[in-house]
Amino acid sequence: MIQPIEGAHSTTFSSDRDPEDLLPARMINELVYCPRLFYLMHVEGQFAESIDTIDGGIVHRRVDNGTGGLAPAEPCATQSFIPSADEDPAVIVPEATKPKKRRKSKHVQAATLFGDDDDDGSEAGEQEACEQQSDQDSDASEEAEDLPKTIHARSVTLSSESLGVIAKLDLAEATGSVVTPVDYKRGRPKRMADGTLAAWDPERVQIALQVLVLRDNGYQSDEGVLYFNETRQRVRVGVDEELLDLTRSAIAAARQHRESGQIPPPLVSSPKCPRCSLVGICLPEETRRLANIQQPPAAVRPLITARDERRPVYFNTQGMWIGKKDDLLQAKVEGKVVQEIRFNDINQINLFGNIQLSTQAIQTALGRDVPIGYFTQKGYYYGVSGGLGVKNILVRRQQFRLADDSEFCLDIARALVHGKIRNQRTLLMRNHREPDATSLRDLKRYAARALTADSLASLLGIEGIAARIYFGDFAGMLKVDCGVSTGGEGYVTAEKRPAFHFRSRNRRPPRDPVNAMLSLAYSLLTKDCLVAATIVGLDPHLGFYHQVKPGKPALALDLMEPFRPLIADSVVLSAINTKMVTADHFICAGKSVVMSDAGRKHFLLAYEKRMDSLVTHPLFDYRVSYRRLLEIQTRLLARRLSGEIEEYPVFQTR
């Protein structure tokens, strides 16, 4: 049901406006279905595929291949939807019909050649009947020749400047000057209580818009047809005054939503949401739960899938060549195919070191919104390639505005640091052999102090102290003892020392295996947070806690703060304690330590296993993978930027 908007009454469209401002009829259909869906798709330019949208694309495949041609309307058929006040309606005078010629009757042979004399009367009657039937057939043939033929035109695009609407007709059935739009639907029609077929309001409004656009282009049109592919049934939709009023209100409401720049609130427990393809972008239940913080928390329905069925792919073999064959990503080493992966199974491509990727593979990946991440051979992350990205410039503009607001930045930074310290403390409690009570107490104290920090500089100090306490006890979570030789074979300074003996955090270059793995884990997590920010439409290089620096993905670093202990540190602990990575997987050069190709491969497996594991969200009480969780948290930050929610809920594990 369309909600009335204050001031949204006029459907008149100014002719001096940009043609790009024309409202697609399909989008007005979406507005009647859900105003928030209209805003996300039409204003923010967001879209996501689902089984329904893909099925709909298959249904429209034939009609979309039409030439789009349709003969222009005859002038006498013009009937504008909004007639000018100073014009009288045109009077159409019907053309005089010519009298039909009666053809000469043909001789009809009697039914039998041996008829009796008594049957003369009946024979004459039969002959007369045959003559009459012949005359009727001749008349019907002449009438059929006189009737105008029905012409079918597919994929016809018409616009109406007076309405400010553009419509694409799947099929137009033209008979003389009368054109009937036919719109294809993938599902089944609405069935009334008496068993008759009908249409839902969004479908009726879309048909009415097509009829009105046809009229505004000079055609005569009084009704439209909905063709439902699942049941192969047609439903006729007559355009009456009640439907015209509903359509006018929908046009005005759509224009008002677009110009307001305010996203409409989500529907309340609507049955429409579970089948909506944009439910993972909209987050209706989560947004409403966080927006109404003054009210008792409502239960959140798990409307999104727990994990993405697609997987990231990592290429680590130096000298590898990767190309595209049909719908496959094909990897070759020295001209020999070593791996083939379907593009439909990939959501990221990551390249480590000297690996070549063909132009065709890059074009296909970017066309499908599959980002390509680039790492050095040692795992240092230095860039990502992406497509044109989302068109949601509104949230990015708001991000730039609020990044200059020091109070807003401090508010977000407090929440991020508080969540990070709390998660560090939880990780120590869960994994340390003997958690130190003093460390746990201090971490709890500094987490609380982070919420009252009066500046970003003060917050940095609190975070640094907490990190020193946390990494001071980090070695207690390592439960494997083995040795590694420093300096390598042949080095004079080579000595034997514990492989996974961790004293403190060091980097550039890391000087022990644990720090080498921590650096690689943070690089991978930075890449995933950067991809999540890009998907949502945020600029990953403009943060609120981390300051702007050329080439530094400040927002990605902001987003990853609470997840450093839960994902990166946890992967390192898991890889060591389960012996997925051993001392043999490291190469020492002087005082620096790097992972071998085999060790990096094992570590990437551990990382992806962690990202694919399910975790319960403490606010919404449903389980999602860590990779899905990163996207949800980033979308919630976007909600905070747009003002839909008042606080950013940093993820804190229980």
pLDDT at 55 over 90: no
Q: What is the CATH number of the domain that holds 175?
A: 3.90.320.10
* Sheet strands (E) in 457-507: 483-486, 495-498
| Segment (H or E) for 447 | helix 437-450
**Domain total in the chain:** 3
pLDDT at 231 over 80: yes
16: confidence class by pLDDT, cuts 50, 70, 90: low
What are 582-628's pLDDT values in tens digits? 888 888 877 788 888 888 999 999 999 999 999 999 989 899 999 99
Domain assignment present for residue 135? The answer is no
Q: What pLDDT is stored for residue 132 in this prediction?
A: 60
pTM: 0.79
| Segment (H or E) for 407 | helix 406-431
pLDDT at 1 over 50: no
Q: Are residues 238 and 190 in the same domain?
A: yes
Q: Are residues 567 and 528 in the same domain?
A: yes
Q: What is the CATH number of the domain that holds 586?
A: 1.20.120.920
Residues marked as binding for Mn(2+)? 463, 546, 561
Q: Are residues 421 and 506 in the same domain?
A: yes
Rounded CA separation 499/112 (Å): 114
Rounded CA separation 328/340 (Å): 6
Q: Are residues 201 and 68 in the same domain?
A: yes
Q: Are residues 503 and 588 in the same domain?
A: yes
122: confidence class by pLDDT, cuts 50, 70, 90: very low
Domain assignment present for residue 611? The answer is yes
DSSP string, 111-166: S-SS--GGGHHHHHHHHHHHHHHHHHHHHHHHHHHHSPPEEEEEEEEEEETTTTEE
Tokens coding 261: 């720049």
The CA-atom distances, in angstroms, between 72 and each of 67, 77, 95, 176, 177 are: 15, 10, 20, 11, 9
The CA-atom distances, in angstroms, between 38 and each of 26, 107, 256, 276, 562 are: 9, 70, 12, 12, 33
Rounded CA separation 465/443 (Å): 9
Domain assignment present for residue 400? The answer is yes
Q: Are residues 375 and 434 in the same domain?
A: no
418: helix, strand or coil:
helix
What are 294-311's pLDDT values in tens digits? 777 778 888 888 888 888
Q: What pLDDT is stored for residue 650 in this prediction?
A: 93
Rounded CA separation 207/225 (Å): 7
Q: Are residues 381 and 433 in the same domain?
A: no
What are 474-510's pLDDT values in tens digits? 988 988 765 555 555 544 455 555 567 778 888 778 8
Tokens coding 217: 């282009």
- Closest Cα partner for 598 from 318, 312, 310? 318
Sign of the torsion angle spanned by Cα atoms 291, 272, 210, 47: positive
> What is the average pLDDT across 167-195?
89
pLDDT at 276 over 80: yes
544: confidence class by pLDDT, cuts 50, 70, 90: very high
Q: Are residues 234 and 340 in the same domain?
A: no
Domain assignment present for residue 654? The answer is no
Residues marked as binding? 463, 546, 561
Domain assignment present for residue 583? The answer is yes
Q: Are residues 362 and 468 in the same domain?
A: no
Q: Are residues 180 and 329 in the same domain?
A: no
141: confidence class by pLDDT, cuts 50, 70, 90: low
Q: What is the CATH number of the domain that holds 329?
A: 3.100.10.20
Q: Which domain holds residue 547?
A: 393-482+498-642
Give the side-chain half-sphere CA count within 13 A for 302: 11
